[in-house]
Amino acid sequence: MAWCPRCKLEYVDGIKICPDCKTALVASLEDASEDNEFEGYISEDEAAFDNQEMCGECNCHVDANEVLAQIIDTLKQKGLNDDEISLILDNIKNSGGKKAENYKPLADKYTENRSGSSALILCGAVGIIVLLLNLLGVIRLPLSGYSFWLTTIVMGVLFLIFLLSGVKALLTAKKLAPQVDKEKEDIEKLVTFLKEQKKAGRFDIAGDDLTMEEQSLVISNMAVSACESEFEDLAPGFAFYVTDRYYSEIFENEDED
């Protein structure tokens, strides 16, 4: 018989992985020793690696718990303590399970509001001008009587809403402008910090028993943990965004070394 060290459930012989939490089964609950202090970071909904994921190199199945054990061993070899490892594993779990908070760059919000305001203001202004010219008799729309006034009022209100929405978006863009400048400074600060950490060898795990994808996952989450430990006032998801967006520049640009 086999037992799940996490769910405490017993399974018949032949089953090696708990179908509920994807944890490797043990011969007895006593086998769940203190060496498994990080057990439970892999679950069905929050797995950093899927137990049924296909390995790109040999087309075989990857055991999530074996990969997790390799990652923990690699981090311990780097000299990280249990708290630091737990933080990195939390980040891996969140990013792998796609539950990390999505960070919306302020620069994108600024661009959206800026471009949207131009289109709305132009549409609203042109529409109101056309309606006014029609009322003044300068141009003639194919409308008359009741339909003329109903259409003029409805379209006038609609174009006015366009115009006001455009002005609001423009004001929002102006408010975002200084925040965008601050965001650029924070990005440069984090990128510089991570480059310095890389040069100091903090993220050197090459040569360990991990694939390239696994190394990238561990390095990126080590970087996120380092940023969140060094800079406590970061917006939720900001460290994830910077590490992912500038990964190549920070970790793969050898010219910077």
Q: How far is it, in rounded angstroms, from Cα 175 to Cα 187?
A: 19
Rounded distance, CA 25 to CA 8, Å? 10
Which segments in the chain show pLDDT lower than 70?
21-23, 29-71, 73-74, 77-79, 87, 90-101, 206-210, 253-257
pLDDT number for residue 34: 46
Q: Which amino acid is at 141?
A: L
How far is it, in rounded angstroms, from Cα 43 to Cα 218? 18
Measured CA to CA in angstroms, residue 183 lies from 180, 193, 247 at distances of 5, 15, 18
Phi-psi region of 23 (alpha: psi -120 to 50; beta: other; left: phi over 0): beta
How much is the pLDDT for 22? 59
As given in the structure block, the two tokens for residue 94 are 């969140």
Show the tokens assigned to 219. Answer: 């390095």
Report the pLDDT value the prediction gives residue 55, as an integer from 0 to 100.
46
CA dist., res. 50 & res. 44, Å (int): 8
For the chain, the structural domain boundaries read 2-96, 106-256
DSSP assignment of 103-167, as one string? P--HHHHHHHHHHHHHHHHHHHHHHHHHHHHHHTTSS--S--HHHHHHHHHHHHHHHHHHHHHHH
- With CA atoms as reference, report the closest residue to 180 among 113, 226, 118, 125: 113
User: Do 93 and 41 touch, CB atoms closer than 8 A?
Assistant: yes
Predicted pLDDT of residue 47: 45
The CA distances from residue 79 to 75, 143, 204, 205, in Å, are 7, 80, 12, 12
**pLDDT given for residue 128 in this prediction:** 92
pLDDT at 119 (0 to 100) = 92
Determine the pLDDT at residue 193. 93
